[in-house]
Structure 1
């Protein structure tokens, strides 16, 4: 049985698995390089590495990184799954929970691309999905998983905008967009995952509120989906307060 991290206990696995995306027009790739470089220059000016990892920043640096990203022409969507639930035994195969959460993420990415298409006529209207490479994850297997979902009509993915064949994985260090995605998704997860003392940090999430996908103020069904839903997740007072404005 897995041991999950608790207040006063530095050991154990994280309680939540966060899977998220940064959605941006392909024509803005170079702007994300400049954005990444600005974050590095302001937050880690003495680092010899060009790449950034949100986990390497201290609190002030994390908040500043979010402030730099805020207002940029990009959107984040994140799906957070609670690992220790009564139905956790359903996900016994390797990467099964990751795939399951990612299907919900791709739903939301497809909706965002569909909804923005009338105002963004450039390109062919499809989304190129690029993962940050993870050890032990088969991307051929994930493409097959998407094909299976498409054939079974089991999701609400808007398939015309999802190019399954182009699903790719790149090293985090090579792609600025993946590093910006890491900042956004990690910032969101910090409002849900307790630290050693049982506290969560919502300030990063609140800095990025304007960059999180929503429809007319509805975040919970779009840019911030949790499984189980927030009202069934037995949240602490801090967690509930973190997400109060995003219901």
Structure 2
């Protein structure tokens, strides 16, 4: 019996730096990596969401959409258009509060944080796809400062050592593309940036959670549990996070949705 086939579009938001100037944190506080997961049969219809958005924005050039560059109103339109015209996709996130990473941690070394978060993201995606009796193809947003051969070796080594919970034989291929080469990577950018805007304070100390609230029905969870699955946030529990981010409460008491 043929397996279901999924495409997984992976992007990140925030930076991996730990820069401090004049005793103030200059780098982003949060680093987030996430994925837009589509069934092969719905891949093309979902990608056409970008055409709808560009038409509404009167977008005349060929440049890819970049969520962070838009106003709140346009960001809301992007997310609402995605969820109102499509139902057969899922979202998965891993986020790390970098300010809570100790100064002597290996995660502060170049590329370690990206690879570490990617490993946890791939674990969760593999659970989701495998539970649906599927297989997946990974499409990473191309990053000039990422060694994909190094990442591949890291993931391979963690699987073979038994240190990873990535289920075997789920991922059949992976490649990296620029956003201009993939409309669904542009949507992945919007999805991942939605969590970033909910966690990362702006210059006035405020966050925006309306985008992630709209995406909630599409975030991977098991029996209403998000924190261990599609909304994995390091290093704090949801209980701790709620003290700073009230919106987290909406992800703590929900009925089963997969």
Is the structural similarity TM-score above 0.5? yes
Q: CA deviation at 1:157?
A: 1.1
3-state SS of 2:32 partner: strand
Q: Deviation per CA, 1:109-151, whole angstroms, max 9, x where unpaired?
A: 001101222xxxxxxx321111001111111111111110111
Q: Deviation per CA, 1:163-187, whole angstroms, max 9, x where unpaired?
A: 3xx2211111111111111111111
Match of 1:82 in 2: 97
Q: CA deviation at 1:233?
A: 5.7
Match of 1:145 in 2: 154
* Match status 1:36 vs 2:50: yes
What is the distance in 1 between the residues matched to 2:166 and 2:102?
Answer: 24
What is the distance in 2 between the residues matched to 1:92 and 1:184?
Answer: 26
TM-score by length of 1: 0.86
Whether the 8 Å contact between 2:242 and 2:248 is mirrored in structure 1 is no
Q: CA deviation at 1:162?
A: 2.0
Let me know the Cα RMSD of the aligned residues.
Answer: 2.2
| Residues 13 and 40 (structure 1), Cα distance of their counterparts in 2 relative to 1, 3 Å cut | same
Query: Once superposed, which parts of structure 1, at least 4 consecutive aligned residues long, lie more than 3 Å away?
Result: 230-237
Whether the 8 Å contact between 2:20 and 2:26 is mirrored in structure 1 is yes
Q: CA deviation at 1:224?
A: 0.6
Match of 2:223 in 1: 216
Unaligned segments of structure 1, at least 5 residues: 118-124
Alignment of structure 1 residues 11-50 onto 2, 5 Å: 12-42=26-56, 44-49=57-62
Whether the 8 Å contact between 2:238 and 2:248 is mirrored in structure 1 is no
What is the distance in 2 between the residues matched to 1:47 and 1:81?
Answer: 36
| Residues 88 and 32 (structure 1), Cα distance of their counterparts in 2 relative to 1, 3 Å cut | farther
Whether the 8 Å contact between 2:242 and 2:249 is mirrored in structure 1 is no
What is the distance in 2 between the residues matched to 1:112 and 1:32?
Answer: 19
Whether the 8 Å contact between 1:52 and 1:179 is mirrored in structure 2 is yes
| Residues 86 and 177 (structure 1), Cα distance of their counterparts in 2 relative to 1, 3 Å cut | closer
Match of 1:244 in 2: 249
Whether the 8 Å contact between 2:111 and 2:146 is mirrored in structure 1 is yes
Q: CA deviation at 1:49?
A: 2.8
| Residues 3 and 69 (structure 1), Cα distance of their counterparts in 2 relative to 1, 3 Å cut | same
What is the distance in 1 between the residues matched to 2:78 and 2:184?
Answer: 14
TM-score by length of 2: 0.83
Q: CA deviation at 1:196?
A: 0.4
What is the distance in 2 between the residues matched to 1:207 and 1:231?
Answer: 19
What is the distance in 2 between the residues matched to 1:84 and 1:235?
Answer: 17
